[in-house]
Amino acid sequence: MTLAGAAAVTLALAGPGAIGCGLTSLAFGNRAGRTFRLVLGLGFGFAISSAVWAAILLLGFTSTSARIGKDAALLVLGVALLWRRRRSSAPAESAPINGDNSAPRWLKLAFASASTVAAALLVEHTARFPDGGWDAWMIWNLRARFLYRAGPAFRAAFSPDLVFWAHQDYPWLVPGLVAQGFFAAGSESPAIPALFAAAFAALAVALLVLTLRELRGPAPGLLGGLVLVSTPCLIAFAANQQSDVPLGAMLLLGTSTLAFAIERDDARLFTLAGAGASLAAWTKNEGALYTLALVAALWLHGERKRVGLFLLGAAPVAALFAGFKLFVAHSNDLTRSSETAVNRATDLHRWGELGLASLRRLVYFQNWALWLPAFICALFLLPRPWRKSTRVLLTALGLSLAAIYPIFILQPHPLLWFFRTAIDRLLIQLWPTAVLAVLLSLAPARATART
């Protein structure tokens, strides 16, 4: 690699890292540990980098200098935020935390063993199928290659002349990151999307562990990580390079911050949580629904004064999402055949089929083992009343599922085929947040002296 190439790679990594860590350090201050802020910041930073690049492309700035300038601007702004945070911080990074700081040895070994097995499975599956699954090469990596090759003609990636299954209306946080990886490497190596897929899975696990560790202690953190990393379909979907695991990670980016905001009653964190939720919307269409569900849940549970702050954080990416949908994206499944939607909605046989298929999925061992029945049991075991953070997150998940299920009925494809191909992917999007919500009420709050 040439010196210029090495500099471009360094800038492509440093810019997102700096802006993300700058935002999280400024928002959290000393109220969360450094490792948590670092992991959260990297998630925010690279997602923001993809969204900003999409925005400048849509505004007509398609040159190499515009892309490099974007990375440089993110780096400068991130360093400025970190400098401001350092100037305003107290001399002591944080006060000691009260309570039990240990986790049982068996839990540490179980989490380490499960993580090792999961990593080995991910590597093995990727080695056998380096191009990922159907969705990877038909949608996500296809779009990334369009963005890498087409230059000023990048809108061809969303052309209505593409085959229907390419889903021209999907937002493109993941393809944007992969395409920037292609630019940084100077090639379309299949290792690049595979690395991003693994990174998103690792982000989801690490963020769940660290959020619970900060709010509830090490043992609940490791337990949450063990649940997630041992979920059978997590590794399969990650290795297939689909956007469902990244969407789950981006949603967790918002919901973990929202849990902090509710429990610490911090206005700045509500704004950051809105930004995280909006990045889920830029990952996949369902993310917009999840963001709206979080807004509704906050409203229903008495956080009405904070809804405005949440929406303020979501506004920039929401504007990007709306602009893409209005001026670039084209028709989707539901709008292609709306003339028969009423007939499908009133077909009681379809509703019955959907109900039976849902019950069967609860015990579909191959993709979920017994985690879904265990989750339902845990809801009944939670001490009453549930903590507000749990109530908000579970309400948002419930509203999301209530909105998704009619879509199964309204879509024009064979119902059972569509349900079987989509339901596990939808559930894995919500699963990290669901685990977080349950453990927030199942474990006692962690006393903290952080300020």
Confirm whether 219 is domain-assigned.
yes
Confirm whether 95 is domain-assigned.
no
Half-sphere exposure of 383 (CA within 13 A, CB side): 8
pLDDT of 95: 40
Q: Take residue 32 and report the two structure tokens written for it.
A: 């969360």
* Distances from the Cα of 171 to the Cα of 143, 152, 325, angstroms: 10, 18, 9
pLDDT of 140: 94
Burial of 358 (0-12, 13-18, 19+ CB in 10 A): middle
Q: Take residue 76 and report the two structure tokens written for it.
A: 């400068």
- Between CA 29 and CA 27 the distance in angstroms is 6
Scanning 265-387, the segments in alpha helix (DSSP H) are 267-281, 286-300, 304-327, 333-336, 341-345, 348-362, 365-368, 371-381
- Between CA 231 and CA 237 the distance in angstroms is 11
Report the interhelical angle of 388-410 vs 286-300 (nearest 10°).
140
- Whole-model pTM: value is 0.94
The amino acid that residue 366 corresponds to is: Q
Evaluate whether 241 touches 136 at the Cβ level (below 8 Å).
yes
Tokens 């908000």 sit at which residue? Answer: 392
- Between CA 429 and CA 448 the distance in angstroms is 31
Confirm whether 451 is domain-assigned.
no
pLDDT of 451: 39
Q: Take residue 200 and report the two structure tokens written for it.
A: 């998103």
Confirm whether 399 is domain-assigned.
yes
In terms of Cα–Cα distance, which of 10, 13, 6, 19 is closest to 75?
A: 19
Evaluate whether 212 touches 105 at the Cβ level (below 8 Å).
no
Half-sphere exposure of 215 (CA within 13 A, CB side): 27
- Between CA 435 and CA 347 the distance in angstroms is 34
pLDDT of 172: 96
- Between CA 184 and CA 8 the distance in angstroms is 6
- Between CA 356 and CA 379 the distance in angstroms is 22
- Which residues span the domain enclosing 427? 3-82+115-442
- Between CA 390 and CA 371 the distance in angstroms is 19
Half-sphere exposure of 234 (CA within 13 A, CB side): 27
Confirm whether 450 is domain-assigned.
no
In terms of Cα–Cα distance, which of 100, 196, 68, 210 is closest to 140?
A: 196
Confirm whether 181 is domain-assigned.
yes
- Between CA 17 and CA 12 the distance in angstroms is 9
Evaluate whether 187 touches 71 at the Cβ level (below 8 Å).
no
- Between CA 62 and CA 79 the distance in angstroms is 25
Confirm whether 209 is domain-assigned.
yes
Q: Which backbone phi and psi does 73 adopt, to 5 degrees? A: -65, -40
Q: How many structural domains is the chain composed of?
A: 1
- Between CA 250 and CA 294 the distance in angstroms is 14
pLDDT of 337: 53
pLDDT of 94: 43
The contacts of residue 151 (CB under 8 Å, 6+ apart) are 62
pLDDT of 342: 75
- Between CA 43 and CA 200 the distance in angstroms is 8
The DSSP secondary structure of 163-189, one letter per residue, reads -GGG-TT---HHHHHHHHHHHHHTS--
Evaluate whether 256 touches 294 at the Cβ level (below 8 Å).
no
Q: Take residue 74 and report the two structure tokens written for it.
A: 């993110």
The contacts of residue 110 (CB under 8 Å, 6+ apart) are 222, 226
From first to last of its 451 residues, what are the pLDDT tens digits of the chain? 677 778 888 999 999 999 999 999 999 988 889 999 999 999 999 999 999 999 999 999 999 999 999 999 999 999 999 998 887 765 444 443 444 568 999 999 999 999 999 999 999 999 999 999 989 999 999 999 999 999 999 999 998 888 877 888 999 999 999 999 999 999 999 999 999 999 999 999 999 999 999 999 999 999 999 999 999 999 999 999 999 999 999 999 999 999 999 999 999 999 999 999 999 999 999 999 999 999 999 999 999 999 999 999 999 999 999 999 999 986 665 555 555 777 788 788 899 999 999 988 888 777 898 899 999 999 988 888 899 999 999 999 999 999 999 999 988 888 999 999 999 999 999 999 999 999 999 988 776 544 3
